[in-house]
Amino acid sequence: MDFYDVIRTRRSIRSYRSDPISEEVLNRVMDAARIAPSGSNRQPWKFIIVKDESLRQRLASICGGQNFIAEPPVAVVACGYDIHRNRGGYMGEMSILVDVSIAFTHLIQAARAEGLGTCWIGAFDNNQVKELLNIPENFYVVAVTPLGYPREEKFREPGERKNLEEIVSTDKF
């Protein structure tokens, strides 16, 4: 699939089939996250592939009861650790959000290219997810996504978006 088709048609999917994902496809998607750029190439991330159905159901419960997270055969939890850089002079320990989000974006775009659906989940209890998945204390949960084949073909052009002139300027704000 053409790159611009991928970014134009990626949508948050909230209804999945239970069809398995081949290891080959899953590895390509995860490799896209692996090769993402990060500040000073620190790669401060860890991705947990959750295949166990009971774990996915418990994960969905602590993600605000969004039960669709448990529908597909895989959920992915993106974690990161403090890189001890204060990006922008204000981000402090949370500057890892930038690097992990770049890698997570690679993952969701690669998933779209493979015909898989995702939904970037930001509603979760960090401590409960960490406890459920045995995530070390020095890591933060950054995002969660279900990963699977959509129940219906929901990939389409985006809805209304601001014009470029509203979001882009040249030389000065």
Q: For the chain, what are the domain ranges?
A: 3-167
Reported as a pLDDT band with limits 50, 70 and 90, residue 154 is low
Query: What CATH topology corresponds to 3-167?
Result: NADH Oxidase (3.40.109)
**Confidence label for 155 from pLDDT (cuts 50, 70 and 90):** low
| Beta-sheet pairing, 45-50 with 117-118 | unpaired
Q: What percentage of the chain reaches a pLDDT higher than 70?
A: 98
The 3-class secondary structure across 20-41, one letter per residue, is: CCCHHHHHHHHHHHHCCCCHHH
Q: Note the pTM of the prediction, 2 decimals.
A: 0.92
- Of 16, 155, 24, nearest to 72 by C-alpha is 16
Banded model confidence at residue 156, pLDDT cuts 50, 70, 90? low
